[in-house]
Amino acid sequence: MRIRTYLDLGGCRLRLEIAPEGEKAPATLVYTRERQFLRLPDGRETPLDDRLFLELIFAWQTGFTGAAFGYDEVASLGKVTLPDGSEAEAYRVVRRTHACLPKGVLEAKPYEGKVYLREGKVVGEGYFSPIVGAETLFLYRDFREEGGARHPLKGEGYVRQGDRWVLFSRGETLEAQVDLPLEEALFR
C-alpha cells in the first residue's frame, strides 16, 4: 500500500490518499470538523462507515497529534515486554474530552489507550480498534526530527489474539515535510 497523509493539526483536518501498490488512482479519506467522507477512485463520495468514523476520532488521540492535546489521566502500568522482545514502561492514558470532534458530535465515550516509553520517549501505543475489533499495538522505530516534530520512520502494527500479539502491518515513511502550506482544496 502507498499512503500519502496531509495533516493540519491546528485546524483538525486530515486527508489520506490510499492506493494499493501499482494503482494510480487512490481512495481519498477526508476528515474535517465540517465533513467526513471517503472518495472512491472512480470519484464517487460516500459517508464514512461508523467504525471508520470512530477510528478516525481515535486517530486524533494518538501519535504526535494526541501528544499535542494532552491527557486527563495517566497511570503507570510498570515495565512490560513488547512483541519485539524489547522492554518499555507502559502507561494507561485517558482523554475525557476528545480532540477534534466533528461539528454536531457533542460527546463521545472517553478515549482510553496505552502509551509505551523508553528513556522518556514514546516507542509505541495501543487502544481497542473499532475497525479491527480487537486491542491493537503500534511500535515505532527509527525516529527523525523535522521542523520541531519527532516522527517515526518505521512502524509495526500488532493485534491481540488471546494472550499474544500477532503482527498485522509494517510501514515505512518514505518522505516527510513539515510546516508546508496546505491548500483548502485538499480538504474538499
pLDDT digits (tens, 9 = 90+) for 150-186: 778 899 999 999 999 999 999 988 887 777 888 889 8
Residues forming a β-bridge with 169: 157
Q: How many domains does the chain have?
A: 1
Q: Closest Cα partner for 20 from 48, 47, 1, 44?
A: 1
Q: Would you call 134 exposed, middle or buried from its count of C-beta atoms within 10 A (0-12, 13-18, 19+)?
A: middle
User: What does the alpha-carbon distance between residue 186 and residue 14 come to, in Å, rounded to a whole number?
Assistant: 9
Which structural domain, as residue segments, surrounds residue 67? 49-180
pLDDT digits (tens, 9 = 90+) for 95-116: 888 778 888 876 677 889 999 9
Q: Say what percent of the chain tops pLDDT 70.
A: 93
Flag whether 6 is in a domain.
Answer: no
Flag whether 67 is in a domain.
Answer: yes
Q: Would you call 60 exposed, middle or buried from its count of C-beta atoms within 10 A (0-12, 13-18, 19+)?
A: buried
Residues in the chain: 188
